[in-house]
Amino acid sequence: MDRLSSLKAALGLLALGLGGCGEPSATVVPEGTREAPPSRVEAVGARQEDPAVRFCDVSAPLGEGRPLVLPLLEGAPAPTTGWRWINVWATWCAPCVEEMPRLVEWGSRLRREGAPVSTFFVSVDATGGEVEAFRQAHPDAPPTARLLGDGALPAMLSALGLDTGATIPIHALVDPEGRLRCVRTGAVTERDYPTVRAILRGR
């Protein structure tokens, strides 16, 4: 065999070896030992993954989460019925401020699409004056409550199932029974909307 033929043969073997890289190798099941695993289509069809599992830092099946317990607040009253979306933010938190109009718009969109939710904003600013100054500078900003007391933020983080090192913004989705369905730290983006909608529809 000449060098060119040898090279072609080697490349052919390499191609055969690489052909299965994108797929898992088949499982060989000795006859009579156990049932063969389901086909790829059957496995996908049977898998109903909870959308909250990957999206949330803390999640629980619908109706099984810990009851929501809010610390002492001043300002806007917290909603008490239906799905609730609690957003923990601060005037000095740039990602919090940037996403606030998105959350308001999402609330309206979710209601139109059959997944009604009440959005409720809770500031962790040190004083009410900071919040008032922000609202004067941003008249379109939604009403907000504010945590009261030095230990209010750690208490709220603990109530949400987070450790004291958690950073804002924080999103908590509370089901109609008043139980935490999903708690997520960090800002949300437009690509997260379908996941949020699926969670609020009880999936």
Write the CATH number for 180: 3.40.30.10
Separation CA 36–CA 41 (nearest Å): 14
Q: Confidence class of residue 27 from pLDDT cuts 50, 70 and 90?
A: very low
Domain assignment present for residue 90? The answer is yes
Q: What is the mean pLDDT of residues 149-168?
A: 92
Give pTM, 2 decimals: 0.74
Domain assignment present for residue 147? The answer is yes
Over the stretch 32-62, which tens digit does the pLDDT of each residue have? 433 443 333 333 333 458 899 999 999 999 9
Domain assignment present for residue 192? The answer is yes
Q: Taking 90 as the threshold, does the pLDDT of residue 120 lie above it?
A: yes
Range of the domain at 173: 51-200
pLDDT higher at 176 or 8? 176
In which region does residue 13 sit, left (phi positive, over 0), alpha (psi from -120 to 50) or beta (all else)?
alpha
Separation CA 142–CA 32 (nearest Å): 65
Separation CA 86–CA 88 (nearest Å): 7
Confidence at residue 203, expressed as pLDDT on a 0 to 100 scale: 59
Confidence at residue 201, expressed as pLDDT on a 0 to 100 scale: 86
SS3 annotation, 92-142: CCHHHHHHHHHHHHHHHHHHHCCCCCEEEEEECCCCHHHHHHHHHHCCCCC
Over the stretch 61-75, which tens digit does the pLDDT of each residue have? 999 999 999 988 999
Q: Which amino acid is at 127?
A: T
Confidence at residue 15, expressed as pLDDT on a 0 to 100 scale: 36
Domain assignment present for residue 31? The answer is no
Domain assignment present for residue 18? The answer is no
Domain assignment present for residue 2? The answer is no
How many structural domains is the chain composed of?
1
Q: Taking 70 as the threshold, does the pLDDT of residue 153 lie above it?
A: yes
As a whole-number percent, the residues of the chain with pLDDT over 90 amount to 69
Domain assignment present for residue 40? The answer is no
Domain assignment present for residue 56? The answer is yes
What does pLDDT average to over the chain? 81
